[in-house]
Structure 1
Amino acid sequence: MPETSPPPDPSKVAAKRPKRGRLKVFLGMSPGVGKTYEMLRAARRRKAEGGDVVVGVVESHGRRETESLLRGMEVMPRRPIDYKGRVLMEFDIDAALERKPGLLLVDEYAHSNVPGSRHPKRWQDVEEILSAGIDVWTTLNVQHLESLSDVVLRITGVRQREAVPDSALSGADDIEVVDITPDELRKRLAEGKVYVPETARLASENFFKVENLTALREMALRRAAQTIDDQLLATLRERGMEGPWAAGERILVLVGGDAIAASLVRAGRRLSDMMMDAPWTVAHVERPNRPVSGPESAARLSQAFMLAEQLGGRTIVLTGDDVVRAVMDYAHRNNVTQIVIGKGRDNRISELLGRSLAAGLLRSARGVAIHIVTEPGGAPVGRPEKEAPVIARSLHWRGYAVGAGFIGVATALALFLDRTFERVDLGVIYLSAVLAAGVLYGLRPALAAATVAFLVYNFLFLEPRYSFAIGSPTDILTLLAFWAVALATGSLAGRVRDQARSAQRRASAVSALLAASQALSAAEDQLGAARVLAEQTAAAAGAKTIVLLPRDGDITPVAGAPELEKLGAAAMAAARWAWERGEPAGHGTGTLPQTSWTFRPLQGVRSRSGVAGIEADALAPGSDEERLALALLEQGAVALERAQLAGDAVETETLRRADRFRGALMNSVSHDLRTPLSTVLGAATTLIDYGPTLKPEVRKDLLLSIREEAERLSRYVGDLLDMTRLEGGALNIKADWTDVRDVLNAAAERVSRRLGSRRLTRDFPAQLSMVSLDQGLLEQALVNILENAIAFSPDGSAIELAAYEDRGSVVISIEDEGKGIPTAELELVFDKFRRMEEQPDRSKGAGLGLAIAKGFVEAMNGRIAAASPILDDRGTRILISLPKSIATHRDLL
């Protein structure tokens, strides 16, 4: 297996990341208490102490006292944004990140940015600035907290349009409450220090009432105290100190797709705050025995889940036919101590029967507190839609029509039997029709069919006939029997049908995930996995999908379905945000929502592997299609990460092999090239310095040494060049019809001078079939094999060069009488730099000859093998098999 580098040290990685800036919030109970004024006063003191303070954005609202504090301060220019023909000035987040001051003042934390800004909310701008390591001071009114919006609405009668999630305030490092009494604030209002006179008069009569301000003041002080207490508890936990906090409290909020869902989420957050930031979870129970909710209900449920995540809660979807049992099972498994549910005004019958959710939970709860939240406007809980979808209505009326048709067929059959036979129980026929209606279309069509069946049966077949009068008490029993059958079969059939549809949807989702998993597993590389992911996600979402992967320090679109589209600047900015921050961006998110794509990071097991974009509005929030698409994206992220790791492993193995080859090559070059060069240099120097004084035989011996070492050096260089060609895939095959005997003779002539006292014998047949090959490559391969045989054969021994053929190939055999090759080394003899023995002068070559011969032979579609020993535990035979284009008939051999 390829070696892998150890994972990076988390402490070193954390040290490389910029330190998060500190956030200080100046909190007030309402506008006009002096939050901005106090923030500027503190900033001027910081600047006087030598701090790097910059005003990012401050709203003075024309107040002279506030504007006077801005003199001498560095104020950043705002960025103009064109919106509906008007140019609006907004906070320039990019300029702030480029300037990167020590402290940045950003007024009005809850402000909504102009459409077209990077983030829809200013608090999101502040989060990005804090992530860059910049300290931020900001201002906030308590009524803008998301969890308090319902309470503020009931107190003041005004719904706040701008809201900040409580988690944003909880994450503040410092909170300074700017507090004045309600009477003093109303005095400032009357003096025109808050609003212009006419606006101030209207405000004092509405929002700025004494009772309203008193309630808001209490909420501001409580919220600040709660945040400070949270910070204290966090410090105590970090130090391992015990404190008086209710660590065991856990809250579960049950929501549905109704109008009260958002209020329940906010109530759960407030309850969590009162219980010292207890963990809280928002849950929805899916019931397979109930029809799937419409798009409006799914949208409300999705919005409730998004609100819960913004407020710092967890979300989960439970499944079960019995809501109470599913909730209590989860509560017992997760140590839930508080359950929050909603209650409308239209469930009196359920309450009387003891079948309401509240009654069921109260009966089953043991050690769990139940909190019931009511909707002030009496919005019905559990009825999010007044009208069924068009398709559902059409199916509904179709059930009634088919039920009536069944009764008509039953009536015709009953009339026929009544006239043909005597004493026929015709009621069974109508019961069968009612049963069929219930099985096919559920409860209501079955009840309608039962009523029509009784009326028709009573009118046509019961005495007095052709009258709806009930002549006998048994007729009433007949009606009750019809209704009982309809009720039982309809409810059971409806439940079975709904469960079957739910099972079918889940089976379809599982099948889609299985098919996607198989396709992703079969992908050979990241690009293939990206294409499969785009195709599968587009099929699941029914919309355009695009996958972006990191390339050269940026992310680039690499795959799309149904085709790869070019993304605009805004879409690419959202995609880069999702890649860099690991957060969703684009349409329907808090970052660049004006784009036409929704981008989600593809988070693998160890790291992000890419980004996937889905066309805007393609997936209904909370729908089965959205869940399937998200599951596919999770699978795709893992597949992309796996493909990347596989590619890295291959690259690592290639580098390892290249490094091993490089090391062996340098080891060989360091000696095998230096030795002949030293010999040539020494002999040449001797001839130059002492040539006239040397005897003729000595000079001749030196010249022969120079020639032999130069030839040896030439062979080494040739071997290295040939191996480089093989390794680089630059081998050029020039095939031609060739008589192998000619190539054998040419190779024998080339090595004849190096035979010494050894004998080279040739054994060729009189005729030999022609084969298509590269004559030069075959000759060089034979020369390498012959030189290897010469190097490892003792003086006076014989080397046999033979050729023969069989039906499908021409075979060349080179056999020597050397010491042979150990059996364990036979499969390794053709490896690069492989020597059967090491000698101090390495006179027997660099270990490349047989490797090059194998490469040349296999490049011509031939095969090469070694056999040893041959005779008396000695000798080696190298066999080369060259394929014929057309097999020879056995009678011609």
Structure 2
Amino acid sequence: MAAERGEERVLVCVGSAPGSARLIHAGARLAGSLGCAWIAANVALPQAAGDEDRNRISDHLRLAESLGADAVRLSGRDAAEALTRYATARGVTRILVGKPAHPRWRDGWSAGMVERLIRSSGDVDVHVITGVPERSAPRAPPRAAVQPRWPHLLGAVAMVLGVSALAKLASPVLSDADIVMGYLLVVLVAAYRFGTAPALVASAASVAGYNFFFVPPFHTFAVADTRNLLTFSVLFGVGFAASTLSDRLRRQEGEAVAREARTAALLALTRALAAATDQAAVASALVGEAVARLARGAVLLSPTAEGLAPLASAGEAAAPTLVGALAAEVQRSRTISVTGALRAIPVLAVGEVVGVLVLIDTADAVDDLADAFATQGGLAIARARDAQLALQAGVRIRAERLRSALLSSVSHDLRTPLATITLAATTLLDSHDHLSEPERREFLTSARDEAERLERLVANLLEMTRLSAGSVVVRREWVPIEEIVGAAFARVEGLTAGRPITTALDPHLPLVAVDPILAELLLVNLVDNAVRHTPPGTAIELAASCGAGTVTLTVRDHGGGLPPGDPDRLFEPFVRGAIVRSAGSGLGLAICRGIARAHGGDVVARSPEGGGAAFVITLPTGGPPPPVPIEPLEAP
């Protein structure tokens, strides 16, 4: 759908002529004055261009990209038709095309490309600009000399002689039409195998051979019947047309194969880059695919504070000094540079040079593909960098949220026990003589309980900080489960006063390799959680059993049970149940899971039959305990 006239978009038609550079600069100025996007397009016609022309087109498209254009390559039998179709699809409002420099008679009876473009452009404005060559126009690097055609020409003549000999031997059974078809077959084969010039030589040689061997008077080039001149003309004309079409087919086949190889290379690169998750992986994927598809060696250099530094390399190596100097030049100029066997290409992302790809010992024919590799690599590096920034931003956001929630929770949870302790201490100081012994003992007990509560809160905060920072160090010791359970209940003796406590420990529990302090804190937090979420006097049960290489501990209460929803949410920091009998920070269960997983185990919440809630801890035993050395008794 075409764009509205208010939404300007400029299309610049790029070719191999040196004047295209001036056209590109004009397009950049026009787009800048209009404040709109612009596109540089080249149309690849069936008439294949030479290596020098292809190289100039690539240089022009790179120039357009460096000036902010989107460079595209189109294909079609007619340039005007392909450009018009693309302009309509992209909503182009203005087309810039170079004024043809060749004489009008070269277009023949048909209209020229510019005239056809103007007629078919519809509502699109067409600007025709004189293509005057500039000194700064891109120049193609020197190419290898074209392979001599003499072997091909001689081969075409040899095939004509061979067909003439075979036709002479079989002339008693062949008609003149059969012989002519044989010569045409030779012309087609010569065109397909060797090209247009050998095919034309084969056509001329076929006319001569047919006249010499099969037209009376035989074995002479004299023509007795002038009607044979028409036969010769038709034979040569058909041979010329057939050779032209066959040569065009051969060229198109070669281009199709090259495009398929290019597409396969870009697909492999895209897959490799898509699998890369960071900048180092992107660099490794880029140089690896470059060595597989483009060159014998590749190095990707990345800008640092000290200059360019190698980020990844593969294949053959080159002198680091030479590579660094060439890459620094490319970083400054932002254009491709070639020195000997080295080809350096800037890797751009959002208009910024994020690296320089240096290819070692590559062919000239890979210019376009190497440029595409660098473009895809730049996009992948930008994506990896943005993903890393997003990850860091997410970590900072989560840390800020945790800090805010922590401050909010701590400000409330610390204030309550501190207020109670302050009140008890102030009362004892101010009214000590007026208080009875039971009252003084009550105040002291209250201060002690709140101090213990404050101690647990601070311990949980410190442990949560260590778990969040990943700095928890598990100091494993071989200890019996019974010892950990006894130490945990001794710490919460004041909390569980007035509650029935039931323990069911398997008599065959093995020693476990755990951090006894962390394991005790895990059980203390689970018991504390049961006390906070159940009415006074509610029973608490603890069971322990062993399995294949694991020990399972279950802390169960008989309160209101788990809240509706995902029970795993209870293990997130600052998440509390629906029924809370006393204040808490909401960190206990998060710390329990963190401790269990630090040991290689886990803790989950269950809703057992009969009501209540059960928290099941699974810890690895750590294998069989080491044997205890028995020292021999000394003789008395």
* TM-score, structure 2 as length reference: 0.74
Q: Is it true that 1:342 corresponds to 2:101 in the alignment?
A: yes
Match of 2:613 among 861, 867, 876: 876
Using a 3 Å threshold, how does the CA distance of structure 1 residues 829 and 329 change in structure 2: closer, same or farther? closer
SS of 1:823's equivalent? Answer: coil
Q: Is it true that 1:752 corresponds to 2:493 in the alignment?
A: yes
Using a 3 Å threshold, how does the CA distance of structure 1 residues 297 and 559 change in structure 2: closer, same or farther? same
SS of 2:560's equivalent? Answer: coil
Using a 3 Å threshold, how does the CA distance of structure 1 residues 545 and 870 change in structure 2: closer, same or farther? same
Using a 3 Å threshold, how does the CA distance of structure 1 residues 862 and 429 change in structure 2: closer, same or farther? same
Q: How big is the alpha-carbon RMSD for the aligned residues of Structure 1 and Structure 2?
A: 5.2
| Partner residue, 1:293 | 50
The CA distance in 2 between the partners of 1:781 and 1:541, in whole Å, is: 59
| Partner residue, 1:767 | 508
Once the two structures are superposed, residues 306-332 of structure 1 have per-residue CA deviations (whole angstroms, 9 ceiling, x without a partner) of 69999x999987654335655777899
Structure 1 range deviating more: 529-538 or 769-778? 529-538
Match of 2:189 among 416, 429, 436: 436
| Partner residue, 1:322 | 78
The CA distance in 2 between the partners of 1:446 and 1:790, in whole Å, is: 99
Cα distance, 1:670 vs. partner?
1.3
| Partner residue, 1:452 | 205
Structure 1 range deviating more: 539-548 or 486-495? 539-548
One-letter amino acid of the structure 1 residue matched with residue 250 of structure 2: R
Once the two structures are superposed, residues 727-785 of structure 1 have per-residue CA deviations (whole angstroms, 9 ceiling, x without a partner) of 11112223455543443344334333432111111212332355544444323211211
Indicate conservation of the 8 Å contact 1:286/1:317, yes or no.
yes
Report 1:613-652 matches (<5 A): 613=356, 625-652=366-393
Once the two structures are superposed, residues 530-582 of structure 1 have per-residue CA deviations (whole angstroms, 9 ceiling, x without a partner) of 4545666787775866443576xx97646254579579998898678x6xxxx
The CA distance in 2 between the partners of 1:648 and 1:366, in whole Å, is: 46
The CA distance in 2 between the partners of 1:374 and 1:794, in whole Å, is: 92
Q: Is it true that 1:852 corresponds to 2:591 in the alignment?
A: yes
| Partner residue, 1:75 | none
| Partner residue, 1:717 | 458
Match of 1:513 among 266, 276, 279: 266
Q: Is it true that 1:602 corresponds to 2:348 in the alignment?
A: yes
Once the two structures are superposed, residues 812-837 of structure 1 have per-residue CA deviations (whole angstroms, 9 ceiling, x without a partner) of 22111122222326222222122224
| Partner residue, 1:114 | none
One-letter amino acid of the structure 2 residue matched with residue 611 of structure 1: V
Using a 3 Å threshold, how does the CA distance of structure 1 residues 478 and 726 change in structure 2: closer, same or farther? same
Q: Is it true that 1:785 corresponds to 2:538 in the alignment?
A: no
Match of 1:694 among 427, 432, 435: 435
Q: Is it true that 1:612 corresponds to 2:355 in the alignment?
A: yes
Using a 3 Å threshold, how does the CA distance of structure 1 residues 624 and 799 change in structure 2: closer, same or farther? same
Report 1:217-616 matches (<5 A): 256-257=16-17, 261=19, 265=22, 286-295=43-52, 298-299=55-56, 302=59, 319-323=75-79, 325=81, 334=93, 340-343=99-102, 350=106, 353-354=108-109, 357=112, 392-394=146-148, 396-411=149-164, 413-414=166-167, 417=170, 425-460=178-213, 463-470=216-223, 476=229, 479-533=232-286, 546-549=300-303, 557=309, 559-562=311-314, 584-585=333-334, 600=346, 602-604=348-350, 608=351, 610-613=353-356
Query: Gaps (5+ residues) in structure 2?
Result: 1-7, 134-138, 625-636
Indicate conservation of the 8 Å contact 1:438/1:486, yes or no.
no
Once the two structures are superposed, residues 173-208 of structure 1 have per-residue CA deviations (whole angstroms, 9 ceiling, x without a partner) of xxxxxxxxxxxxxxxxxxxxxxxxxxxxxxxxxxxx
Matched residues, number: 592
The CA distance in 1 between the partners of 2:513 and 2:605, in whole Å, is: 23
One-letter amino acid of the structure 2 residue matched with residue 795 of structure 1: P
The CA distance in 1 between the partners of 2:126 and 2:444, in whole Å, is: 106
The CA distance in 2 between the partners of 1:656 and 1:392, in whole Å, is: 63
Indicate conservation of the 8 Å contact 1:868/1:875, yes or no.
yes
SS of 1:803's equivalent? Answer: strand
The CA distance in 2 between the partners of 1:837 and 1:366, in whole Å, is: 71
The CA distance in 1 between the partners of 2:52 and 2:499, in whole Å, is: 93
One-letter amino acid of the structure 2 residue matched with residue 342 of structure 1: A
Indicate conservation of the 8 Å contact 2:97/2:129, yes or no.
no
Using a 3 Å threshold, how does the CA distance of structure 1 residues 480 and 359 change in structure 2: closer, same or farther? farther
One-letter amino acid of the structure 1 residue matched with residue 100 of structure 2: I
Using a 3 Å threshold, how does the CA distance of structure 1 residues 574 and 869 change in structure 2: closer, same or farther? same
Indicate conservation of the 8 Å contact 2:601/2:619, yes or no.
yes
The CA distance in 2 between the partners of 1:697 and 1:282, in whole Å, is: 92
Cα distance, 1:668 vs. partner?
2.3
Cα distance, 1:458 vs. partner?
4.5
Indicate conservation of the 8 Å contact 1:818/1:876, yes or no.
yes
SS of 1:343's equivalent? Answer: coil
Query: Gaps (5+ residues) in structure 1?
Result: 1-247, 377-383, 579-583, 888-893
| Partner residue, 1:16 | none
Once the two structures are superposed, residues 582-625 of structure 1 have per-residue CA deviations (whole angstroms, 9 ceiling, x without a partner) of xx457879xxx9xx997857242xxx5543335699999xx874
The CA distance in 2 between the partners of 1:416 and 1:339, in whole Å, is: 59
Match of 1:828 among 563, 569, 572: 569
The CA distance in 1 between the partners of 2:422 and 2:483, in whole Å, is: 38
SS of 1:813's equivalent? Answer: strand
The CA distance in 2 between the partners of 1:363 and 1:703, in whole Å, is: 100
Indicate conservation of the 8 Å contact 1:822/1:868, yes or no.
no
One-letter amino acid of the structure 2 residue matched with residue 321 of structure 1: R
Q: Is it true that 1:669 corresponds to 2:410 in the alignment?
A: yes
Cα distance, 1:413 vs. partner?
4.1
Once the two structures are superposed, residues 824-861 of structure 1 have per-residue CA deviations (whole angstroms, 9 ceiling, x without a partner) of 2622222212222476xx84432222211111111222
The CA distance in 1 between the partners of 2:208 and 2:239, in whole Å, is: 15
SS of 1:321's equivalent? Answer: coil
The CA distance in 1 between the partners of 2:394 and 2:61, in whole Å, is: 50
Cα distance, 1:811 vs. partner?
2.1
Using a 3 Å threshold, how does the CA distance of structure 1 residues 474 and 561 change in structure 2: closer, same or farther? farther
SS of 2:571's equivalent? Answer: coil
Structure 1 range deviating more: 703-712 or 474-483? 474-483
Indicate the percent of aligned positions where both proteins have the same amino acid: 28
Using a 3 Å threshold, how does the CA distance of structure 1 residues 808 and 325 change in structure 2: closer, same or farther? same
Indicate conservation of the 8 Å contact 2:308/2:328, yes or no.
no
The CA distance in 1 between the partners of 2:128 and 2:573, in whole Å, is: 78
Indicate conservation of the 8 Å contact 1:284/1:317, yes or no.
yes
The CA distance in 2 between the partners of 1:408 and 1:861, in whole Å, is: 85
Once the two structures are superposed, residues 455-500 of structure 1 have per-residue CA deviations (whole angstroms, 9 ceiling, x without a partner) of 4454445555444444656754554454244223211112122222
